[in-house]
Amino acid sequence: MMNESSAPPLVAPVCITTAVVVAATYIIRVYRSSISKIPKEGPTRPKFLLDALAANEDIYYFGVGSNLSRTRLENRSISGKKIHPISFEPCVIYDFRLAFNMTGIPPIEPALGSIEPLPSFYEKDGNQERNSRQLWRTESKAFVAYETNECHGALIKLSAEDYELVYKSEGGGKGATQFYEEIEVICVPYDKSKDPVKAVAYRGTEFGRLDQIEDMWPSKRYMGILRSGAAELGLEDSYQKWLADHPVQEPSLFLKKVSINSCLFMGVLRFGLNMHFIPHLQTAMLYQVLVPPKDPAWKQYLGEVASFIILFPSSLLGFTFRTILEKTGKTPPMVKKFIEHLEEGDNVE
């Protein structure tokens, strides 16, 4: 009879097998989710916008996020061509909210902004029929809600050519995989002597939004841009206070640098090699270990450790790629701009 000392050790093989099965199940689930989110075709552009573009007429655009700042809007074209707003003023739209529900780059950019219809939008006479084609209803809700059913932002008048530059800078024209869709909103200028105007605004597509009902929290960098833009534009004090009080994500400087290098490598896979699954898998894993900013410090620490473990392989490859580009002087302007864009956060308040 076999004695206890000669019995095969089964614990390690069982643990390894279990871990492999769990990992494989998770990867398959993420893969199916990433495939199912890609629609068969891209969003439809509003008719009034297409008519204006065809006639080369000026277009009103409702700006939120980084486009609250005129300077940022003027310099955001991916072609390097400067954008020249015809007019730029504060305004408000009713029955919409600023939502932080767009997939970002965790942990440094957990969520980006878009606008989202509030329940009150669908309850008003005429809205349901007029917008049923594109303003599909979701159960999304704010992480911290503003006090009234409205969203404040910039009413920007642009030439048709400049509007298209803004549209492309926001990822427009990519069809089924673009993150935003254009919708029609009615903007009410702060200047009471001016009439409300029809404008274009950006709402997150199903492909671009986060897979959860409640909004995520933005980064300190991104919220800093919104706060300074709102102050520059002179948005309502209560709205600026809401932005100032909203929780933000602030990873350590070390994790931030690791994340930026990882982004470079994942960008090569996504845009250079058209390999979307690996970046999608990494993003899904990072959201799983992301800790809310109001949680205790020990949870924040564990979240950073877990994020580092997930990011380390791609960060090492990204660092190598970045070093080669810098040593050879062949860093593309867009890559330089991307790095500067993510590294500016420590100075934005």
Tell the residue number behind the tokens 């009413």, with chain if given.
Answer: 155
User: Half-sphere exposure of 255 toward its Cβ, with a 13 Å CA cutoff?
Assistant: 22
Q: Are 206 and 36 in contact (CB under 8 A)?
A: no
pLDDT tens-digit series, residues 157-197:
999 999 999 999 888 888 778 889 999 999 999 999 999 99
Residue 348 has pLDDT above 90, yes or no: no
**Which runs of E-coded beta strand occur in the chain?**
59-63, 87-94, 96-105, 109-117, 150-158, 180-189, 197-204
Residue 349 has pLDDT above 50, yes or no: no
- Provide φ and ψ at 184, rounded to 5°: -95, 130
pLDDT at 199: 97
Mean pLDDT of the chain: 86
What is the value of pTM for the model shown? 0.84
- In percent, how much of the chain has pLDDT > 90? 56
Q: How many helices (H) and strands (E) does the chain have?
A: 12, 7
In the predicted model, what is the mean pLDDT of residues 253-272?
91
Residue 11 has pLDDT above 80, yes or no: no
Check the CA dihedral 80-59-226-319 and report its sign. Answer: negative
Higher pLDDT, 130 or 11: 11
pLDDT tens-digit series, residues 94-106:
999 999 999 999 9
- In percent, how much of the chain has pLDDT > 70? 85
Give the span between the Cα atoms of 160 and 172, in whole angstroms.
14
pLDDT tens-digit series, residues 268-308:
898 788 888 888 889 989 998 999 888 999 999 999 999 99
- Provide φ and ψ at 34, rounded to 5°: -65, -35
**Burial track 336-347 (b if 16+ CB lie within 10 A, e otherwise):** eeebeebeebee
Which range, of 4-8, 44-48, 157-161, averages the lowest pLDDT?
4-8
Amino acid at 284: A
Which range, of 111-115, 188-192, 341-345, averages the lowest pLDDT?
341-345
pLDDT tens-digit series, residues 310-326:
999 999 999 999 999 98
Give the span between the Cα atoms of 203 and 26, in whole angstroms.
29
Q: Are 185 and 96 in contact (CB under 8 A)?
A: yes
Give the span between the Cα atoms of 227 and 242, in whole angstroms.
10
Amino acid at 56: N
pLDDT band at 1 (very low <50, low <70, confident <90, very high): very low
- CA 2, distance to chain mean position in Å, is 61
Residue 123 has pLDDT above 70, yes or no: yes
